[in-house]
Amino acid sequence: MAYDVVRPLIHEVLTKVNNAKVKGKKIEVLRKYQSEGLKMVLKSSFDPKIVWRLPEGDVPFIKNDAPEGTEHTRLEQEAGKLFHFIKGGNDKLKQVKCETMFVQMLEGLQEGEAEVLILAKDKKLHQKYKGLSKQVVQEAFNWDDDFLNVNHKDYKKSA
């Protein structure tokens, strides 16, 4: 069995999902490359209960044009900081600081990763990556309508 030496960036995983022709293959790609970072980004885009503190639309930032794999951060690792930008996550953070931190995060990411994050913020990942839908994401990660893992040992579905 062949193993990937370097994990693909999140935008590369989503491109693989986009290029997969059938739903089953799209789910297979998401499962193959699943990580906490990927799940956080997808959940932030598809879960209607997650509300971003940031204005919708384009974000003024300087794109990091360093070649992939060189001088940029990975969205997979940066995803743990997304709570700062979500209502209920770090509401004590002043809005100006929140927006400044978001721009700084974008400027550190590779260009494709920054685009993914902006699309997630605007809940529009599905518009760029065809076939990436709420249903596909939920099935890939065994999430219910509340985006909770139905196989988790502490899972209790309310009646």
Q: Is residue 139 over pLDDT 70?
A: yes
Q: Report pLDDT for 68.
A: 67
Q: Is residue 122 over pLDDT 80?
A: yes
Kindly report the pTM of this predicted structure.
Answer: 0.88
pLDDT single digits (tens) 101-115? 999 999 999 999 999
**Model confidence band, residue 64 (pLDDT cutoffs 50, 70, 90):** confident
Structure token pair of residue 44: 């932030």
- Looking at residue 52, what DSSP letter applies? B
| CA-wise closest residue to 26 among 38, 35, 17 | 17
The rounded distance, in Å, linking the Cα atoms of 23 and 117 is: 23
Q: Report pLDDT for 4.
A: 53
| CA-wise closest residue to 16 among 136, 107, 120, 106 | 136
